[in-house]
């Protein structure tokens, strides 16, 4: 009697194992939600909307983008970190959340180990900008003005713990400038404030300001790009002025909660890679000033670890 019972048990286990394997193979069987930890209109949101069609095609599933701004991006990413690790909730991560925000003293309720990196796919640089009719034509004009009028120039940033904030602090430290910081909720808002002359100057995401530079509504003074931008060939870079750009650009990537099943993880990682190399996606992002740059999960993690160490050293210099 034991042999038939054992046979039935073995068959049952085999059926369960097969069902589990089939369930894993069918991922995704419903829409995948992508949490975007930023306001609509800024570079983080724009990048997510750019890759959404290619990612949807790669997964053969609908993508639902959900904006969750606040606390320099940590609110949205916390939602990702605490989501069920089934692959149906992932997040549009940016490097600054794991580096600058943590180092700035902002309370961050997670670490990189709270997530499964799926790959980076694009980079957005920033441009120091003023309104088109501002009296400053170059960075040196700004430096001279601030030295003669300490504490009178106000600058916009996307808040403590962001790339724009660190970039401005770095400039202020490098050239001994006393300026007043005015935080905004995102890149789109700070750009509007500079355009409307509520704020004197600030680091504008290139994706947000490209059209305004082209139409001469904003004047670019210097960029955080590693090399001069093709569409702004006369605008110098931080590197040319002796400032490293490492950690001062937004690196866009996708992240899932930790604990994904290997099969689900592999599907998502492959889909991100396929979407990042999609020709139509690359053409769209390059057209608005984003740099289409794919990094696999291992390279993405390594970048964050390196940037964290570099920005920690930079922050110590800024505190002196």
Report DSSP letters for 174-214, one per residue.
HTT---EEEE-SSHHHHHHHHHTTSSSEEEEEHHHHHHHHH
pLDDT in tens, the chain (320 residues): 455 555 555 555 655 555 555 445 589 999 999 999 998 887 889 899 999 999 999 999 999 999 999 887 899 999 999 999 999 999 999 998 898 888 877 788 999 999 999 999 999 899 999 999 999 999 999 999 999 999 999 999 887 778 888 899 999 999 999 999 998 877 888 999 999 999 999 999 898 898 999 999 999 999 999 889 888 999 999 999 999 877 789 899 999 999 999 999 999 999 999 999 999 999 998 888 888 899 999 999 999 999 888 888 888 777 76
Give the CA dihedral 48, 50, 52, 53, nearest 10 degrees. 180
Three-state DSSP class for 94?
Answer: strand
- Distance of alpha carbon 52 from alpha carbon 110, whole angstroms: 26
Neighbours of 211 (CB within 10 A): 12
The burial class, CB within 10 Å (0-12 / 13-18 / 19+), for 60 is exposed
* Cα–Cα distance list, 56 to 84, 154, 226, 287 (Å): 20, 42, 31, 21
Give the CA dihedral 240, 244, 247, 249, nearest 10 degrees. 0
pLDDT at position 141: 98
pLDDT at position 23: 47
- Distance of alpha carbon 161 from alpha carbon 89, whole angstroms: 25
Residue 12 token pair? 């049952």
Nearest Cα to 255, choosing from 113, 141, 105, 104? Answer: 113
Cis peptide before 28 (omega within 30 of 0): yes
Q: Where are the alpha helices (DSSP H) in 104-243?
A: 139-148, 163-174, 187-195, 206-214
Neighbours of 15 (CB within 10 A): 10
Domains and CATH numbers, the chain: 30-123+249-319 (3.40.190.150), 126-241 (3.40.190.10)
Residue 9 token pair? 């048990």
pLDDT at position 14: 53
pLDDT at position 62: 98
- pTM value? 0.77
- Burial state string for 173-196 with b = 16 or more CB within 10 A and e = fewer than 16: eebebebeeeebebbbbbbbbbbe
Secondary element (H or E) of residue 98: helix 95-98
* Cα–Cα distance list, 160 to 70, 102, 182, 189 (Å): 11, 10, 10, 15
Neighbours of 142 (CB within 10 A): 25
pLDDT at position 316: 77
Nearest Cα to 52, choosing from 92, 16, 84? Answer: 92
pLDDT at position 118: 98
């Amino acid at each position: 009697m034991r042999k038939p019972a054992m046979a039935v048990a073995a068959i049952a286990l085999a059926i369960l194992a097969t069902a589990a394997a089939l369930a894993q193979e069918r991922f995704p069987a419903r829409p995948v939600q992508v949490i975007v930890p930023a306001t609509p209109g800024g570079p983080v949101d724009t990048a997510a909307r750019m890759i959404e069609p290619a990612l949807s095609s790669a997964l053969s599933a609908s993508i639902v983008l959900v904006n969750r701004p606040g606390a320099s991006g940590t609110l949205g990413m916390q939602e990702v970190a605490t989501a069920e690790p089934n692959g149906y909730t992932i997040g549009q991560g940016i490097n600054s959340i794991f580096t600058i925000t943590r180092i700035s003293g902002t309370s961050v309720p997670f670490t990189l180990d709270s997530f499964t990196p799926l790959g980076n796919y694009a980079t957005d640089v920033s441009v120091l900008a003023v309104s088109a009719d501002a009296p400053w034509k170059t960075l040196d004009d700004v430096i001279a003005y601030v030295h003669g009028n300490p504490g009178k120039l106000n600058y916009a940033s996307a808040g403590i713990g962001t790339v724009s904030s660190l970039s401005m602090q770095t400039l202020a430290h490098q050239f001994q400038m006393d300026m007043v910081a005015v935080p905004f909720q995102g890149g789109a808002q700070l750009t509007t404030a500079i355009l409307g002359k509520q704020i004197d100057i600030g680091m504008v995401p290139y994706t947000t300001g490209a059209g305004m530079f082209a139409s001469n509504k904003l004047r670019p003074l210097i960029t955080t790009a590693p090399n001069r931008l093709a569409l702004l060939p006369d605008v110098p870079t931080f590197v040319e002025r002796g400032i490293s750009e490492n950690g001062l650009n937004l690196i866009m990537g996708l992240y899932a909660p930790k604990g994904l099943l290997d099969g689900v993880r592999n599907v998502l990682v492959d889909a991100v890679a396929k979407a990042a190399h999609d020709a139509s996606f690359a053409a769209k992002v390059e057209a608005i000033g984003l740099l289409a740059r794919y990094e696999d999960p291992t390279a993405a993690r390594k970048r964050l670890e390196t940037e964290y160490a570099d920005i920690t050293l930079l922050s110590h210099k800024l505190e002196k």
